[in-house]
C-alpha cells in the first residue's frame, strides 16, 4: 500500500502543476474547479466521482479575492490556504492550484485536462474551458449534484438559527 501524500505537497503553483502534468502524458488528468468554501459531503462525493474518471484529479481553487468577486462580501468563510489544505488532504485529490481570475479558462487552456468536470447544475454550453478541452481531444462530464448539500444551504440554516 502506498503512503499518503502530505497535503502541502499537493498544493502546487501553476508552473509546478504544468511541470507535473506535461503534454503529451500517459495519465488521464481530470480537472474541476470551485470555491469549496465550507467543504461538505456534496463536495466530497463530487470530488470522488470526478477522480473515478481518470488517473489524477486536479482541483482549481478560487483565491479569496476571486471568491469575494463571485460571492460577495463576507465570503469566503475559510481562507484560501486552509481551503487548499483541506482539499489536498482528500485521498481523491492529486493536486490543488489556486487561481485569482474570475474563471479558470487560462488555467484550463494551459493544462488541457483529458476530462473537465462540473456539477450537473451547469449546462454544457456554459462550462468555462469546455471548448479548449474538446478542441484538444478531451471531454466534458457533468456530475449530478447531491441534493440538499450546498454551502449556500448550510449558511442559510446557520443564519436562520441565529435569528
Domain assignment of residue 133, yes or no: yes
Residue 148 has pLDDT above 90, yes or no: no
Domain assignment of residue 111, yes or no: yes
Domain assignment of residue 1, yes or no: no
Task: For residues 70 and 35, give the distance between their C-alpha atoms in angstroms, rounded to a whole number.
Answer: 9
Structural domain span for residue 107? 7-162
Long-range contacts (CB closer than 8 Å, 24 or more residues apart) made by 142-147: 142/117, 142/118, 143/46, 143/49, 143/50, 143/117, 143/118, 143/119, 144/119, 144/120, 145/42, 145/46, 145/119, 145/120, 145/121, 146/41, 146/42, 146/45, 146/46
Q: What average pLDDT score do residues 24-49 get?
A: 95
In this predicted structure, what is the pLDDT of residue 139? 98
The predicted model scores a pTM of 0.91
Residue 146 has pLDDT above 90, yes or no: no
Residue 149 has pLDDT above 70, yes or no: no
Residue 31 has pLDDT above 90, yes or no: yes
If pLDDT is split at 50, 70 and 90, which confidence band does 34 have?
A: very high
Residue 14 has pLDDT above 80, yes or no: yes
Domain assignment of residue 11, yes or no: yes
Domain assignment of residue 93, yes or no: yes
Domain assignment of residue 118, yes or no: yes
pLDDT tens readout for residues 63-88: 999 999 999 998 999 999 999 999 99
Q: How many domains are there within the chain?
A: 1
Residue 8 has pLDDT above 70, yes or no: yes
Grid coordinates of 33:
474547479
Q: What average pLDDT score do residues 2-31 get?
A: 96
Q: Which of 2-6, 7-11, 71-75 has the highest mean pLDDT?
A: 7-11
Q: What is the CATH number of the domain that holds 12?
A: 3.40.50.620
Domain assignment of residue 123, yes or no: yes
Domain assignment of residue 2, yes or no: no
Residue 154 has pLDDT above 70, yes or no: no
If pLDDT is split at 50, 70 and 90, which confidence band does 150 have?
A: low
Amino acid at each position: 500500500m502506498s503512503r499518503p501524500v502530505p497535503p502541502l505537497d499537493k498544493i502546487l503553483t501553476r508552473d509546478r502543476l504544468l511541470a507535473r502534468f506535461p503534454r503529451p502524458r500517459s495519465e488521464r488528468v481530470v480537472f474541476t474547479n470551485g470555491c469549496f468554501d465550507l467543504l461538505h459531503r456534496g463536495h466530497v462525493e463530487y470530488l470522488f466521482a470526478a477522480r473515478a474518471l481518470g488517473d489524477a484529479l486536479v482541483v482549481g481553487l478560487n483565491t479569496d479575492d476571486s471568491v469575494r468577486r463571485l460571492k460577495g462580501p463576507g465570503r469566503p468563510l475559510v481562507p484560501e490556504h486552509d481551503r487548499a489544505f483541506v482539499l489536498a488532504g482528500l485521498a481523491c485529490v492529486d493536486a490543488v492550484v489556486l487561481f485569482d481570475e474570475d474563471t479558470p479558462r487560462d488555467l484550463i487552456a494551459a493544462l488541457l485536462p483529458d476530462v473537465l468536470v462540473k456539477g450537473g447544475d451547469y449546462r454544457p454550453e456554459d462550462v468555462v474551458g469546455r471548448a479548449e478541452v474538446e478542441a484538444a481531444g478531451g471531454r466534458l462530464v457533468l456530475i449530478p449534484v447531491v441534493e440538499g448539500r450546498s454551502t449556500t444551504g448550510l449558511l442559510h440554516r446557520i443564519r436562520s438559527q441565529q435569528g
